[in-house]
Chains A and B, each alone.
Chain A
Amino acid sequence: AQKVTQAQTEISVVEKEDVTLDCVYETRDTTYYLFWYKQPPSGELVFLIRRNSFDEQNEISGRYSWNFQKSTSSFNFTITASQVVDSAVYFCALSRNDYKLSFGAGTTVTVRA
C-alpha cells in the first residue's frame, strides 16, 4: 500500500516569513512519482511540481523550492518570503505504475499581511 502523510494540518505565518511544508511517503515500489498541488480559496487544483524517484536533485522555482530525500522518504516544500497570495491548501501526492494518485491530507497555509 502507498501512503502520503502531511503531518501539519495548518500553518499560519506573517508575510515575508519562510514556510516549509512536510511530506512523508510510503511505498515499496522503486519507481514512483511525487507531486505537489496547490488549492487556492477559489478551489481549483494547480500543479506545482513532479519528481520521479530516480531524481533526487532539489529544485527551485522562484520563491518555491523542493527538497527530495529518499533516505527519509520525504519531499518537503518551502515557500520563501511568503506572500498573501500563497494562502492555500497544499497537497503532496504519490503515484506508482497503477495510475492512482494518492494524496496527503493537505496543509492549509495562511499568510497574514
Chain B
Amino acid sequence: DTAVSQTPKYLVTQMGNDKSIKCEQNLGHDTMYWYKQDSKKFLKIMFSYNNKELIINETVPNRFSPKSPDKAHLNLHINSLELGDSAVYFCASSQRHSDGYTFGSGTRLTVV
C-alpha cells in the first residue's frame, strides 16, 4: 500500500496547456507539501497545507494553484504551462516537521 501516491508519473504536454497533478497520502498526516526538483536536482518547496489550510506559499508564479479538498489530498494545478515548468514535482507529507517527510515517487513534467 503506497504511503504517498502521485498521479500521473509522467506528463508530457504542450506550452500553454493547463494540467493537474494529484497527490494522496494514507498515513494520516496533517501536513502535505509540493516540492519542485529542477534539472540540476535542486529541491525547493513550493506549497504546504496543514489540515487543508495553506501555510507555506513560496515565490511561485500564480499560474500554480494548489488545492486541498481534505487533509489526505493535495493537488497541484498549473495554468498556461511554460517550457521552464519542466521539472519533477514531488508531493510529501508529515505529521510533524520534526518527524521527517514521506515523499511520493514524483511526477516528471515535460513541457514541449
Which A residues lie at the B interface, using CB under 8 A?
A: 33, 35, 37, 39, 43-45, 47, 50, 52, 89, 91, 95-103, 105-106, 108
CB of B46 to closest CB in A, whole Å: 11
CB of A30 to closest CB in B, whole Å: 14
**Alpha-carbon gap, A91 to B43, bound state (A):** 9
Flag if A43 contacts B88 (CB, 8 Å): yes
Flag if A33 contacts B106 (CB, 8 Å): no
- Chain A proximity mask over B22-56: 1 for CB below 8 Å, otherwise 0: 00000000010101000011111100101000011
Q: Sample 19 A-B pairs with CB under 8 A, ordered by A number.
A: A33-B97, A35-B100, A39-B41, A43-B108, A44-B105, A45-B103, A50-B98, A91-B43, A96-B97, A98-B97, A99-B55, A99-B97, A100-B48, A100-B56, A101-B45, A105-B41, A105-B42, A106-B42, A108-B41
**Alpha-carbon gap, A96 to B94, bound state (A):** 13
Flag if A44 contacts B97 (CB, 8 Å): no
Residues of B46-72 whose CB lies within 8 A of A? 48, 50, 55-56
